[in-house]
Amino acid sequence: MRSCPLLVSSFLASISAFACGVEPEPPAVTLEDSSSALLGTITPDGDCPLSSLLAGDRCEQAIVTCEGLAPATVRLVIAEPTAPLIGTVIFGSGSAGASLMEQAATGPGGVNPFVEELEGLRAAGYRVIQRAWQGDAPGDRGWIRGSEGMDASACRYATLVTWVAKRFASPTRAMCSVGFSGGSMELAQVLGRWNRGGVIDQAVLVSGPAARSDEACIGGAAAEVSCAAAEAAYPWECADRGVELSCVLGDDITLLVDTAYGGAPVCSSRDPSQAPQLAADSVLAPGIGVAAYPATRLDSILGMRDCGSGAATTGATWATLVTGAGGAAPAVVAVPGAGHTVHATPQGAAAIAEAVLAGCTPR
C-alpha cells in the first residue's frame, strides 16, 4: 500500500469576501496525509477563463501532479452561498471530466434545470464548486488519462478533494462530493482505493459507478447475476420502449476506460485475458478495495431510462456492495423518465439537490 505525505502549495494569498460575509478558511501550505495513500502535489496557477451559469462565480486554476502521471490542470468554478455557510460541495462531470457538470444538462433554448437546483443549494447555504480537468496544453484534459491505469489516474482527484477539504471544511462545515457518470467512477475510486472517506462527509454518485471494472468491461456470469438482481430491484423503463437493459458498459464508455491505459484496448476489446488487470484496478479490487466508509453518507441516483450505457446497472450493483455512515447502504433514488444524464431532467436535478440537502451536513 502507499505511504507518503501530501504536499500542497499555497492557493492564492487572499480571497475576497462573498455573500453573507462568508470567507473561505485560509489555505494550508503543507498538508500531512495520515492515511496510507500516496497523494500528489497541487500548485496554484491563478485565475482561469471558465465560467458557469451561476451568478457571481469565479474560476481558479491549479496543477495537480502525481507520481508516474503527466501533470493535470484542474479548473474550479466556485460560486459562494447566498445564505450562511453550511458546507462545500464539489460537482464532478462525466466522461473524462473536462467540462462542468452543468453543461451536460443544458437543453433546447438554454433551459437548464440543474443550474436552477444549484442556485437553490447556494440559497440554502452551500458553496458550489464545479471541477473541470482541462488546460491549454495539448492532451491536458481529463483525470482518466495516462498509461498507469484507473487506480493511478484517480490520484488526481484524491489529491484535489483532500486539498479542497483542508481549505474549506471544518467541524461545523461539511465537505461533500457529487460525481456523474465518469465522475462517479472518479469519486468511487478515491473512496475505495485512496481512503478519502475520511475527508468526504457525503458522496452522491449519479449514473454509476462500476465496482468491478473487469465485470463491467467484459461481462461474464458474475456480471449477469448482478445485472439480473438490479433489473428485478428497480422499475426500469426499458422493455416498454423496446430497449434492452445492458449489463456491461457501452462502447463509448469502454473507450474512455482505455485512455487510462495509454489507449490500449484493455476494456473495449472485452478480452477475458485483460480481466486480471481490470480487476486489480477496480474500486472493489479483490483483497485491496475498501467497501466500508464509516464517516461518509452515501447516495446513489439512477435514471430509469439509462438502459444502454451499462452505467446504471453497474451503479445499482455497487450500491449493494458498499456501506457508509452507520453501516448503512447507499440511499438509492430511482428517477423515472431520466436517462443517463439524470440531471438534464427536472426530476433528476431535483433528486441530486434533495440528496445534498438531506445528507451534506458536518459529521
In tens, the pLDDT along 253-294 reads: 999 999 999 999 999 999 999 999 999 999 999 999 999 999
What are the residue ranges spanned by the domains of the chain? Answer: 7-359
In tens, the pLDDT along 122-174 reads: 999 999 999 999 988 888 999 999 999 999 999 999 999 999 999 998 889 99
Site of grid cell 452505467: 311
Per-residue pLDDT, 37: 57
Q: Does domain 7-359 have CATH number 3.40.50.1820?
A: yes
The structure's pTM equals: 0.91
Contact 352, 117 (CB under 8 A): yes
In tens, the pLDDT along 48-82 reads: 999 999 999 999 999 999 999 999 999 999 999 99
The secondary structure of 247-314 as a DSSP string is SS--HHHHHHHHGGGTT--TTTT--GGGHHHHHHTSTT-TTT---B-TT-EEEEEEETT--SSSHHHH
Cα–Cα–Cα angle for 326, 328, 334, rounded to 5 degrees: 145
C-alpha closest to that of 97 among 4, 160, 15, 170: 160
